[in-house]
Structure 1
Amino acid sequence: MPFDNWQILAAGLLAGIILGLSKSGIKGIAMLCVAIMAITFSAKASTGILLPMLIGADVLAVTYYRRHVQWPYLIKMMPWMMAGVLIGVWTGNDVSEHIFKQGMSVIILISVVIMFWWDRSNKNLTNNKLIAPVMGLSAGFATMVGNLAGAFSNIYFLAMRLPKDQFIGTAAWLFFIINLFKLPFHIWVWGTITTSSLMTSASLFPGVLIGFFGGVRLVKLIREKRFRQMILLLTAIGAVIILIK
């Protein structure tokens, strides 16, 4: 999709910077990127423009945080998330965008409230067998239909009480694999990735680079406890933005 004016380019680059910040470890703000892209390029078209940018950002993240990945937690969630993606591929076109966004926002907000309660009560959910299936299916469906999986994966990794670097590194590998898994469906089933959309993605990628390397410095300054609180707060704000957009 060619740029018609500088306002569209500026909005796209801003979305790219936010995406880079998110992939650097400042989780929860990616939904703001999704909202900006949907407003700028239309909801469905934006998913095809955003996916190559996500994969590029994933490469940066898995390279930088490669030593911190926790494979057991990733493996628990991965099959469920892939199943959710497949559900999204075949049903996504039939789901009303308005209903989908409202439903996702409400579920995310309820999940955040539950996580706040769990944090205060110090309950241990690491052995809960329902967390991975529920959050995995939800995340897979949400990432295919609207690139909104971050909130569900955040809640899963927070529930597992992963330290900051392990949280970021494991999430990075999870989304790198899932975004590659989504790629063929966007190209051959939905047709949202084309030569034109790839050119747009490439034009916006400098924003991702700026956001990622700036975000890496910010993450180092955030303490572990504040990191959990920040993730929950940003996730809730992102859900509200999607709800009212």
Structure 2
Amino acid sequence: MSLDFFKMVALPELGSTFWITAVFTVTLIGISKAGFGSGPGVIATPLLSLVMPVAAAAALLLPILLMVDVFVVHQYRREVDAPNLRRLLPGALVGIVLGGLFFYQFSSNERVLKVSIGVLAVGFVLYQLMRGRLTRPRPASRWDSTSPAGVLVGAFSGFISTLAHVGGPPVVIYLLPQQLPRRLFVGTTAVFFFIVNLIKLIPYALLGLLVVGNLWMTLLLLPVAVVGVRIGVWLNGRFTDTWFNRVVYVILLLVGIQLILGQSLIGIVLN
């Protein structure tokens, strides 16, 4: 099954709303990956899916994510926890395969994809609220890098990352209890998702999601991503992530609800 990017998103349809949303989204990707270990980056695909089809949003974001990963990995290249990577990556490979199969099965059903992403977005925010992650400090370490849970976390992360580039939360939740130094935490997640995103190129190519012609949008948005990375690196160690997370998760909750309902929240309120 092949998905033609330009049939789904014709160039004349890419108006100001798309570009404003895209610039905001890509900036957040850079900030979150470089400054906060990619957790808040879960907002990217759900937010962009408001102004374009899910498959098109995922296809547009993957090259940008890879380019951001290159910058972030370069910044933190000497601060990586190899044992955690060895535990997470095998499961991630399995998850990517399963995610590609799911995408293939439902690629023609936009409603199923949007609802799925909306449920992931809302579910993540609710989980964070229940665990008190928005306000509480990091919990005491309970897992180590040899925990079998790492394989399962990697598989789940790979699966949902393939669907919507939202694989960050499971990995963040897995690493946080280990109380890694912040730079080691960010560096480990950066390398993990760089490898995951490279592997995701395979199912995306097989699904026909990667079209050379859409690289012009990636190139236009790349400077925005670089700015986001620079901001994120500057914020790391200077700015607590609590308030940043709160703002991002409120937006993510609203976006998730809107994707599930299939209509604008403003329109619902006015009606």
TM-score normalised by L of structure 2: 0.78
Task: Point out where structure 2 has 5 or more consecutive residues left out of the alignment.
Answer: 1-5, 107-111, 259-271
Q: Is the 8 A contact 2:121 2:256 kept in 1?
A: yes
- Which amino acid in 1 is paired with 2:83? P
1:41 alignment counterpart:
52
Cα distance in 1, alignment partners of residues 156 and 243 from structure 2: 22
- Which amino acid in 1 is paired with 2:35? G
Aligned residues: 240
Cα distance in 2, alignment partners of residues 207 and 149 from structure 1: 22
Q: Which residue of the other structure, out of 156, 173, 183, is the alignment partner of 2:201?
A: 183
Cα distance in 1, alignment partners of residues 182 and 55 from structure 2: 33
CA separation of 1:238 and 1:128: change in aligned 2, threshold 3 A:
farther
State percent identity of aligned pairs. Answer: 22
Higher share of residues assigned helix: 1
1:93 deviates by 3.4
CA separation of 1:98 and 1:33: change in aligned 2, threshold 3 A:
closer
What is the SS of the residue equivalent to 2:78?
helix
Which has more radius of gyration?
2
What is the SS of the residue equivalent to 2:256?
helix
- The alignment status of 1:240 with 2:253, answered yes or no, reads yes
Across the aligned residues of Structure 1 and Structure 2, the Cα RMSD in angstroms comes to: 2.7
Cα distance in 2, alignment partners of residues 67 and 119 from structure 1: 26
Task: Point out where structure 1 has 5 or more consecutive residues left out of the alignment.
Answer: none
CA separation of 1:171 and 1:115: change in aligned 2, threshold 3 A:
farther
1:53 alignment counterpart:
64
Question: Mean Cα displacement is larger for which, 12-21 or 164-173?
Answer: 12-21
CA separation of 1:47 and 1:185: change in aligned 2, threshold 3 A:
same
Deviations 1:13-33 (A, max 9, x none): 221111111121234321222
Q: Is the 8 A contact 1:31 1:238 kept in 2?
A: no
Deviations 1:21-55 (A, max 9, x none): 11212343212222232122221111111000000
- The alignment status of 1:70 with 2:86, answered yes or no, reads no
CA separation of 1:94 and 1:178: change in aligned 2, threshold 3 A:
same
- The alignment status of 1:221 with 2:238, answered yes or no, reads yes
1:235 deviates by 7.4
1:236 deviates by 4.9
CA separation of 1:209 and 1:127: change in aligned 2, threshold 3 A:
closer
Cα distance in 1, alignment partners of residues 200 and 138 from structure 2: 36
